[in-house]
Structure 1
Amino acid sequence: MQIAVTPKVRLIIIGDEILSGRRQDKHFSKLIELLSQRGMQLSGAEFISDERDVIASTLARSFATPGIVFCCGGIGATPDDQTRQAAAQALGVELVLHPEAAHLIAERCADNERRGQGSGDMSLPENQQRLQMGMFPEGAEIVPNAYNKIPGFFVHNHTFMPGFPVMAWPMMEWTLDTRYRDLHHTITRVEHSFLVFKLPESRITPALEELERKWPGVKAFSLPSMGETGFPHIDLGVKGEPQAAAEALAYLRSEVLRVGGELIPPQK
């Protein structure tokens, strides 16, 4: 049986404040949620520092691999924001002012002026500094920012967004629904699991290995618990295409019983 292949989705979180614990990441769980709603799934995530060379080396490796990547953080215009520069470095291209980004940033400055917050005069030093946020690697496209108009950018299947969830999450949704709509629900996957008692994980491992040989498109999983909230047990399960997963689940249940496992918790 051949299994359709969809591009893997990865997440890169950039920011010393995450690694130091000053802020807690919220993008990981949100992207999983957004992908799940569209029948997609996350295949990996990395958390890296603000150092330009670290970002550049991570992105150089990432640009060289297939798949879809979301990058959060470091696209502002202060000295600790190095993602735009690192992306250009990794691609071997120049940073250039994107004309549409420049227009949107100017609109934002004008909006601020109408609210009595600063000036819309783009010749002022502070507004010239804001234009730095529209400097993207040559060849990049903008990613709309519904919150304050200052866009992110897209290049080589990588979407770059600010670290603020109020900005990043709508940009994730826009990207998934605009650039990758044809990947929504292309594969129907299900996940089934059940609890097993009085069974060491080592005894059921051969059955898990045999299961994946018999049903190549199905993944088996085993999550042991030491019984912190009850009795020691294993959360055993399968995930994959519905028919194959159902067959594999039945096989796994029968193997659990065959090797002495129990499906009902012991009596206290």
Structure 2
Amino acid sequence: MPRVRLIAIGDELLSGRRQDKHFSKLIELLQARGMRLQAAEFISDDEDDIVACLRRSFATPDIVFCCGGIGATPDDRTRQAAARALGVGLALHPEAERLIGERCAEMAAKGQGSADMSTPENQQRLQMGVFPVGAEIIPNVYNRIPGFYIHNHSFMPGFPVMAHPMMAWTLDTRYAQWHHREARVEHSFLVFGLPESRITPALETLEQRWAGIHAFSLPNVGDSGGHPHIELGVKGAPEAAAQALEWLREQVLSLGGRLSPPA
């Protein structure tokens, strides 16, 4: 299975003016298709920062979703940065030009703007179809203005209403061969009255006994009026994970832990 990553671009995310909504949505879309997210990165609108990030990213075989910065205002530098990172030029994509023209005509029919693509406003809109040479378009069902795909990276707007359908389209169109290819489950249970330090050796032994199974431990100090506890679990292939989970429960009980909160 290839690794899947997210790159979210925008000063507004780093300053807190906007809250990211792509991270959780991409996880949801991937899980529905039997895939999973392995990493996420948040970076600024600075073009040099984007170039450095994308150069590292293009050097991998990963599936990468990049959200933000593909508009046509001065703070939108993702298209330019992608071209620099790949060492290619920028050009108006013919299909993007057609789609943007259709969008302008639709808006003009509603009394908003002009269908004449030679006007300064529409010439500026066409800049949103200027992509790195060799890119392919990603359809945008919201307003026709496409994103672009190149070198296993899918670039889309920061607007969730546009980006999320584009993510789904990309997963279903470009990566359908990876859907539900990895048989993987995750199980967990709560443990009370057991310090994490006491169960850690058992977690290490578990990973040695069941190759490919990963154990996890998520302590909770009992905030919101609850009892302190640990969420222990395993993830990996279904049969091995079930065996490892049962063994882990036995270890918890043998070490004095409880599976229910104190009365």
Common topology (TM > 0.5)? yes
User: Which TM-score tier does this pair reach, normalised by the shorter chain?
Assistant: over 0.9
Deviation of 1:239 after TM superposition, in Å, equals 1.0
Question: Do structure 1's residue 133 and structure 2's residue 148 form an aligned pair?
Answer: no
Distance 1:236 1:137 in 2: 47
Question: Do structure 1's residue 117 and structure 2's residue 123 form an aligned pair?
Answer: no
* Superposition TM-score, scaled by structure 1 size: 0.96
- SS of the residue corresponding to residue 38 of structure 2 reads strand
Aligned partner (choices 145, 151, 155) of residue 146 of structure 2: 151
Aligned partner (choices 184, 187, 194) of residue 192 of structure 1: 187
Aligned partner (choices 92, 103, 119) of residue 97 of structure 1: 92
- SS of the residue corresponding to residue 71 of structure 1 reads strand
Distance 1:232 1:84 in 2: 49
1:1-268 paired onto structure 2 within 5 Å = 6-228=1-223, 229-267=225-263
Deviation of 1:187 after TM superposition, in Å, equals 1.3
Percent of aligned positions that are identical: 73
Distance 1:216 1:126 in 2: 60
When the two chains are superposed, the root-mean-square deviation of aligned CA atoms in Å is 0.7
Structure 2, unmatched stretches of 5+, are none
Deviation of 1:167 after TM superposition, in Å, equals 0.4
- SS of the residue corresponding to residue 42 of structure 1 reads coil
Letter in 2 for 1:120: A
* Superposition TM-score, scaled by structure 2 size: 0.98
- SS of the residue corresponding to residue 192 of structure 1 reads strand
The answer to which of 185-194 and 28-37 deviates more is 185-194
Structure 1, unmatched stretches of 5+, are 1-5
- How many residues get paired? 262
Distance 1:187 1:44 in 2: 18
